[in-house]
């Protein structure tokens, strides 16, 4: 279980005031290690290079992304949230590859 899922569970205390609780942004980058990188998952791109280059050799894995998002949706469902909105799954300006996803 990721630190983020544990953190979201801590939000269970807030509905006690009778107000709707919404998660307005959650998700992860689609590569092994993306969920652990949290909000810095985009840090694998070196924008100081021209053109920008990917650092290391991350393997694209939409399975990693789907399992993480699915796990969080399970947590959110158990909390009875008003809403949960996934962060964008695509960035039009991001590097692309013709390699099929894993």
Q: How far apart are the first and last CA of the chain?
A: 22
What's the rounded Cα separation, in Å, for the pair 99 and 102? Answer: 9
Per-residue pLDDT reduced to its tens digit, 8-29: 777 877 878 888 888 888 999 8
Per-residue pLDDT reduced to its tens digit, 37-83: 888 888 898 989 988 888 988 998 999 999 999 998 998 888 888 89
């Amino acid at each position: 279980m990721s630190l983020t899922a544990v953190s979201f569970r801590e939000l269970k205390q807030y509905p006690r005031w009778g107000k709707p609780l919404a998660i307005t942004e959650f998700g992860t980058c689609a590569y092994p290690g993306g969920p652990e990188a949290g909000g810095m998952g985009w840090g694998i791109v070196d924008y100081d290079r021209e053109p920008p280059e990917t650092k290391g050799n991350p393997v694209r894995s939409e399975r990693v992304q789907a399992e993480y998002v699915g796990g969080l949706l399970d947590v959110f469902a158990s909390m009875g949230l008003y809403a949960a909105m996934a962060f964008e799954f695509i960035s039009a300006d991001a590097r692309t590859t013709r390699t099929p996803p894993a």
